[in-house]
Chains A and B, each alone.
Chain A
Amino acid sequence: MYLDQSRMPIFEALQKFKKDRIVPFDVPGHKRGKGNLELTDFLGEKCLSVDVNSMKPLDNLCHPVSVISEAEALAADAFGAEHAFFMVGGTTSSVQTMVLAACKTGDKIILPRNVHRSAINALILSGATPIYVNPDIDDELGISLGMRLSELEKTILENPDAKAILVNNPTYYGICSNIKGIVELAHRHGMLVLADEAHGTHFYFDEALPISAMEAGADMAAVSMHKSGGSLTQSSFLLLGKEMNADYVRQIINLTQTTSGSYLLLSSLDVSRKNLALNGQEIFKKVRYLADYARNEINQIGDYYAYSNERINHDSIYDFDVTKLSVNTLNVGLAGIEVYDLLRDEYGIQIEFGDIGNILAYVSVGDRERDIERLVSALAEIRRRYKKDRAGMLDHEYMSPIVAATPQRAFYGEKKSLPIMETAGYVCGEFVMCYPPGIPILAPGEQITEDILNYIQYAKGKGCFMTGPEDMKIERINVMVGKE
């Protein structure tokens, strides 16, 4: 870092703006909260007083030339990027920008199938064709891992015309691929590397954690500051490497981004970036300690398996993010989603997500040992009261997809609605997924199989929150008319 990271240009401009007592005859119409007292009472006057519109002293997110531009330069410096964009549409907007900036209609993009829905959504928008690399599966844990380098190389050689490779760094569960190796391989074949770092903000500030995308030489990275970085929900960074044209990327961002970017979100990014740049090492050291402590305690309960570095295999689990408290629940005889529901309904504990075989508890600098103790004790109680035989439990998540049409063609093409159990053999025209984690079970353009339908029924039965299809009850699915 070369710049003075204690500076917060947007924050400072807002402070000055408040002191100047400018009379507002512009939007927003609540006029510093005076026009909506109930909301002001709820969120606080300080908050409403800086919910303001773009103006000369505060810069403009669509075309930053002053304080936002300075704040972006500081962020780029803190993350070791060539350029950073402040994003207000969630990391979803960062991921979509990466894909739209890299691929036009008909272009190929190589990606693992266990990507977030936002990546495949971007394929619907851009018209790009997904080429999936089979992620490795951990049979014991039942989760998809990272991409094997050899598998990726094979895919690259089969698709030398692909424009980009998308990498999760890490996955929701904390699994990292060999991103440095992937970057070398991709660049050798003239492809861009796009990193989804929705779960990897902290990699940039703690040397004991896996390598960050920018350090590995990736071309773009979507970073969820609002997850481990501490900024407000919906705020995010898009980072660019040396070879990218920042002005072109800004044009892509402006295709879909609001022209009324929230200064609450922007200032939260500014303040959080400063905090991480100055205190990140210490913060994440503490988070690592808390997560390790929790893992040790959970592994002593019995049957639960809170996994960590020991799973590293130098390929599809190239590295592991030890701040992620992922716990396999299958030997307790309960699906992760069942443990997730019990924790909330019986013990008043809300965790990040539960899927078929695992739960993920989000640990941050805001936690204390005694909060972790509540989680551990509740898990011990759930085992004592609910432990069942493991028989009959589905133990894997991943089903290798058969892509029959591009997501765009399937989504916009002629479709008909069928009862879900009658759709085997058809090509799906929409998404079906459990949320969280939001990784599609079916994406537009994929062949529907009996296996997939059984999996959907199983997940629904266990209480997973399903989303995606036009039919909100998930009883019918839109499929493509005619054969592909």
Chain B
Amino acid sequence: MELWYTERHTDDVKFSIKVNRQLFSEQSEFQRIDVFESNQFGRFLTLDGYMMLTEKDEFIYHEMIVHVPMAVHPNVKNVLVIGAGDGGVIRELCKYDTIERMNMVEIDEKVVEVCKKYLPLTSCCLDDSRLKIYYQDGLRFVRTKQQEYDLIIVDSTDPFGPGEGLFTKEFYGNCYKALKDDGIMVNQHESPFYPEDAIAMQRAHKRIVESFEVSKVYQAHIPTYPSGHWLFGFASKKYHPTRDFLAEKWLKRDLKTRYYNTQIHSGAFALPTYVEELLKDVE
């Protein structure tokens, strides 16, 4: 018997992982949640059938979405995390003892419950005393905040389904309002490769450019995401991601990472020419 998980990446491309067994499957109020176990990628979580994370490559995504802004902003005390029910972002943030307060807003309580049970690798720090979890719509939460956070991390699903509102201009604008005058917003920015994803990526970039003084994009290599080539957005009111990069300060913290390092930090903002062009088209 062979059991395979398959995700459609385009009409003509599929991505499959051989599965040992399915650990969990349930339809929550918002989406279908599944957890599988595989030889190659360990356990992995999918929402509405779309790959969210695998135990083997999640470190790349979570290190890159957290350490890049943390190595730029000189003094992050208050962090807002939108989405991120698997806990991976919180785990990386918890490495910084200078952070005083973390608010996490996840729309689907069931995702957190499932990850706590089946994915301890990422959910390990969800009981940190600095963390407060709000189970509500991210757009609604951020709308009520003003000049409150140093850093906002948008760890969203794709721009369709429950995460749709997190790719809108009204969301980015409200994030801008919720940040302090030197605040930074980092977001999951989709992929530039397949045309359908590239359109979503461009649309997000356009809306962020319209909302923030500084808006840059950086990349990472994530094997289980469509095309493997993934982007992140770095938007801020003040700091430039490479010119204001505090490499020495970050190195002194002596944090243990497996993907992120100070060379990768600068290198990640060097984008392929076709990606630069896609971004320039909407700037």
Interface residues of A (CB under 8 A from B): 297, 346-348, 369-370, 373-374, 376-378, 380-381, 384-385
CB-nearest residue of chain B to A374: B165
CA distance A385 to B174 in the complex (A): 11
B164 cross-chain contacts in A, Cβ below 8 A? 370
The answer to whether A370 touches B170 (Cβ under 8 A) is no
At the interface with chain A, which of B90-98, B119-127, B137-145? B137-145
Partner of A377, one of B107, B162, B170: B170
Does any Cβ of A come within 8 Å of B168's Cβ? Answer: yes
CA distance A377 to B162 in the complex (A): 16
Does any Cβ of A come within 8 Å of B169's Cβ? Answer: yes
The answer to whether B139 touches A348 (Cβ under 8 A) is no
Partner of B169, one of A346, A373, A376: A346
The answer to whether B168 touches A348 (Cβ under 8 A) is yes
The answer to whether A377 touches B143 (Cβ under 8 A) is yes
The answer to whether A381 touches B170 (Cβ under 8 A) is yes
Beyond A378-B170, A381-B170, whether A373 also contacts B177 by CB under 8 A is: no
Does any Cβ of A come within 8 Å of B36's Cβ? Answer: no
Known: A370-B139, A373-B140. 10 other contacts (CB 8 A): A297-B140, A346-B169, A347-B168, A369-B137, A370-B137, A376-B143, A377-B139, A377-B140, A378-B169, A381-B174
Partner of B173, one of A297, A348, A373, A381: A381
B173 cross-chain contacts in A, Cβ below 8 A? 381, 384-385
B174 cross-chain contacts in A, Cβ below 8 A? 377, 380-381
Query: Can you list 25 A-B contacts (CB < 8 A)?
Result: A297-B140, A346-B169, A347-B169, A347-B170, A348-B168, A369-B137, A370-B137, A370-B162, A370-B164, A373-B137, A373-B139, A373-B143, A374-B139, A374-B168, A376-B140, A376-B143, A377-B140, A377-B168, A378-B168, A378-B170, A381-B169, A381-B170, A381-B173, A381-B174, A385-B173
B169 cross-chain contacts in A, Cβ below 8 A? 346-348, 378, 381
Partner of B165, one of A346, A373, A381, A385: A373
CB-nearest residue of chain B to A385: B173
B168 cross-chain contacts in A, Cβ below 8 A? 347-348, 374, 377-378
A373, A380, A385 pick with most chain B CB within 10 angstroms:
A373
CA distance A199 to B107 in the complex (A): 34
Q: Which 10 A-B pairs have the closest CB atoms?
A: A377-B170, A378-B170, A381-B173, A373-B139, A381-B170, A373-B140, A377-B143, A377-B139, A373-B137, A380-B143
Interface size class for chain B? Answer: 10 to 19
Type the 1/0 row for B158-198, where 1 means its CB is closer than 8 Å to any CB of A.
00001011001111011001000000000000000000000
The answer to whether B171 touches A377 (Cβ under 8 A) is yes
B162 cross-chain contacts in A, Cβ below 8 A? 370
CB-nearest residue of chain A to B171: A377
A297, A347, A370 pick with most chain B CB within 10 angstroms:
A370
CB-nearest residue of chain A to B164: A370
Query: What is the distance, in angstroms, from A340's C-beta to the closest C-beta of chain B?
Result: 15
Query: What is the distance, in angstroms, from B147's C-beta to the closest C-beta of chain A?
Result: 12
CB-nearest residue of chain A to B169: A347
Query: What is the distance, in angstroms, from B173's C-beta to the closest C-beta of chain A?
Result: 4
CA distance A385 to B139 in the complex (A): 17
B137 cross-chain contacts in A, Cβ below 8 A? 369-370, 373
CB-nearest residue of chain A to B203: A348
A380 cross-chain contacts in B, Cβ below 8 A? 143, 170, 174
The answer to whether A374 touches B177 (Cβ under 8 A) is no
CA distance A376 to B165 in the complex (A): 12
A348 cross-chain contacts in B, Cβ below 8 A? 168-169
Query: What is the distance, in angstroms, from A138's C-beta to the closest C-beta of chain B?
Result: 29
CB-nearest residue of chain A to B173: A381
The answer to whether B177 touches A384 (Cβ under 8 A) is yes
A347 cross-chain contacts in B, Cβ below 8 A? 168-170
A377 cross-chain contacts in B, Cβ below 8 A? 139-140, 143, 165, 168, 170-171, 174
CA distance A373 to B162 in the complex (A): 12
CB-nearest residue of chain A to B174: A377
B143 cross-chain contacts in A, Cβ below 8 A? 373, 376-377, 380
Type the 1/0 row for B128-153, where 1 means its CB is closer than 8 Å to any CB of A.
00000000010110010000000000
A378 cross-chain contacts in B, Cβ below 8 A? 168-170
Q: Which residues of chain B in 95-122 are interfacial with respect to chain A, using CB atoms and an 8 Å cutoff?
A: 107
B140 cross-chain contacts in A, Cβ below 8 A? 297, 373, 376-377
Query: What is the distance, in angstroms, from A174's C-beta to the closest C-beta of chain B?
Result: 25
CA distance A381 to B139 in the complex (A): 12
Query: What is the distance, in angstroms, from A448's C-beta to the closest C-beta of chain B?
Result: 42
CB-nearest residue of chain B to A376: B143
CB-nearest residue of chain A to B141: A373
CA distance A478 to B170 in the complex (A): 44
CA distance A380 to B165 in the complex (A): 14
CA distance A373 to B168 in the complex (A): 11
Query: What is the distance, in angstroms, from B181's C-beta to the closest C-beta of chain A?
Result: 15
Query: What is the distance, in angstroms, from B3's C-beta to the closest C-beta of chain A?
Result: 34
Query: What is the distance, in angstroms, from A381's C-beta to the closest C-beta of chain B?
Result: 4
CB-nearest residue of chain B to A371: B165
CB-nearest residue of chain B to A369: B137
B165 cross-chain contacts in A, Cβ below 8 A? 370, 373-374, 377
B177 cross-chain contacts in A, Cβ below 8 A? 384
CA distance A384 to B174 in the complex (A): 9
Query: What is the distance, in angstroms, from B170's C-beta to the closest C-beta of chain A?
Result: 4
CB-nearest residue of chain B to A349: B170
A297 cross-chain contacts in B, Cβ below 8 A? 140
Query: What is the distance, in angstroms, from A19's C-beta to the closest C-beta of chain B?
Result: 34
CA distance A140 to B107 in the complex (A): 38
Query: What is the distance, in angstroms, from B78's C-beta to the closest C-beta of chain A?
Result: 21
Query: What is the distance, in angstroms, from B142's C-beta to the closest C-beta of chain A?
Result: 8
Query: What is the distance, in angstroms, from B216's C-beta to the closest C-beta of chain A?
Result: 23
CA distance A380 to B178 in the complex (A): 13
CA distance A381 to B172 in the complex (A): 10
